[in-house]
Structure 1
């Protein structure tokens, strides 16, 4: 019985760690999405400036 309690405690610890890891991954994905959006805005601004210089 004691072994089962230890295994259960180990599994709960792994679950919390996995949940924390998912939160970190979610945060990184959000940051990457923001970076991509910012890069797209910069590219659009550069294209606009190039267009206005040419015409």
Structure 2
């Protein structure tokens, strides 16, 4: 079973990647690309996971 520190490091990495993906999506939208297949679902899942983290409050 992975230790808690490794889990947190992985979560932090995924959150940073989500930020990069969100930036790319926003830039594509500025250029007229309105949907990138699967991207919105990935970002929504990450947002849901953030809300489900113990000790975290929305906003």
Inter-partner Cα distance in structure 1 for 2:15 and 2:25: 15
Cα displacement (A) at 1:31: 0.7
Inter-partner Cα distance in structure 2 for 1:6 and 1:32: 39
Cα displacement (A) at 1:26: 0.1
Structure 1 gap segments, 5+ residues each: 34-55
Show the 5 A alignment for 1:1-55.
Answer: 3-32=3-32
Taking structure 2 as the reference length, the TM-score comes to: 0.51
Structure that is richer in helix per residue: 1
Q: Which runs of 4+ in 1 moved over 4 A?
A: none
Count residues in correspondence: 32
